[in-house]
Each structure stands twice: as C-alpha cells, then as structure tokens.
Amino acid sequence: MNANTGLSIEKAFMFKKLHLNLKNYKSGGNSPCLSEPVSPEERIIYKLPPEYSGSESHQKWDGYIPPCTLDAKEADHVFPIQTANIKVNNLYNGIEHCSDRWIELACETALKSVQEKGGPFGAVILQLDKETNQVIRYWKNFNQVTLTNDPTAHAEVMAIRSACKSLGVFNLGEIKKEDALLDQPGELSYCIIYSSSEPCPMCYSAICWANLKVLLFAATRFDAAVQGVNFSDEEIYNELATPYPDRNLKVLQCTAGNSLDAFNLWKRSAKITY
C-alpha cells in the first residue's frame, strides 16, 4: 500500500488487539495494557505534516455524527456536534500544521477507546531512524483511567510506557542500537509522539522526561473542556502559576533532618543518570 494512503493491515491488527484488551477489562482484569510495537509493511520516510494555512471557519471536518445514547431526550440540543477546533488568544499561532496518517491514527484510537468504554484520548509513538527518518515501528495506546482505576493511565503515558518497555530504554530521544532490545537499521534512532488531544500538564511532563523530540496533537485543551466532554486542565495551569500559600491544594514544605540524605548519596555514587 502507498505510504500516504493508510495503514489498513497494521491498523486492523492493532484495533483488533485494542478491542480484545478492552474486552478483558470488562471481564474483570484491571492491569494497564501496554501495546506491542508494529512495523510498517512498506518503507515509510517520515516527514512533518505541512503547515496549515486555512482558517477555523474552513477547517476540514470528516462529517462524523455519533448516535446519542444518553437518557435525556434533549441531549442532542445540550451537546451539539462540534465541527472545528477551539483556538483561543492566538495560543496556537505558529504551530498549526495539516493532518497526516499518524495524527488520524491517534484520533481513530481515541474514538475506538470511547466505543469500548475507555477515555476519549489516543496516542501514537513513532520510532525513526536518525539518519534516514525511516519509520522503524510504532506504538499506539489509549486512555485507561476508568478501566484500570489508575488516574495516571493517560494515553500518552501508556504509549510512553509501551515504547520504553519494548525497547528497554528510558530515553526515547536517542536510542543506541547496542542498548535497544529491538533491532534498528542504524546506530541511532529517536521517537516522536502524536496525541489525539493537547496533552495535560502531567502528560506534557512525561513527554519531556521521556525526551521525545516532537509532539503533535489535534484537538486543543479548549475542545477537551467543552460541556459534555469536561476534561479541563485550566485549574491545574492556574495552580502551577499560583504561589503555594494561595493554591487550592494544601501544600506544606517539611524541614526534615534527613531530607538531603538521598541526594547526597546520589551525587557521591556511581549511577545511571537520567
């Protein structure tokens, strides 16, 4: 299949695996699901999607109208179909790009997750050869918070956990052939991440700690906060910008005599740094 047309075989395999994993949750299992890597059947040289030059009023919409299964008869009016991303205060100026197969795969993963009673978020991590930018393999995962009773099991976190476990590394920004558990064509590779929606502060931090080189997302934080979706991170952003005494979360700094012991041992010991 042409590299620009779709993922058919790999996509079908991963969606089947996703369905089976979610089915297992329904039957009582609640361990987080780490996804397996998928290697494209054809050679794909990765390129960033081109810059987007359109406007919100002309944003492409795929026409998807899901059925309403809520009890309230008026839900169709309360929760209308949204057809364009919400972009506030020029926050996304300078970073707007077009769609590509990978961001669409992340969004399809999010939709499949909702259809199987998971959270409405999906993520895809690509491993790329550093010299050629060839796509070596990819992982995709979904929001598993309610399925696993784990508030940290966001799609981006689960994708990062999956890639790190498969590769046997904690730094996804530079993967040496000699260190990786999976084979790669060149001496060095690196990973980038696609998210169906703008990552929350926790996931953004995880992306930074994993040293992922590029983040691409589709829906904005404002899309995630609309009535009926109700995933607003505004309170967290406000909290982080507020002095500790004025925060909603009660935070105390304790002066303990042994508070520096671990740091002192760390800096005077042989170790693996990260």
- The DSSP element (H or E) to which 215 belongs, if any, is strand 215-219
Query: Rounded CA gap, 86 and 221, in Å?
Result: 8
163 φ, ψ to 5°? Answer: -65, -45
Judge whether 156 counts as a catalytic residue: yes
Identify the residue whose tokens are 């598993």. Answer: 144
Query: Rounded CA gap, 128 and 33, in Å?
Result: 23
Contact 118, 143 (CB under 8 A): yes
Q: Which of 156, 198, 234, 235 is catalytic?
A: 156
Query: Rounded CA gap, 16 and 9, in Å?
Result: 11
Helix, strand, or coil here: 94? coil
As annotated, the active-site residues are 156
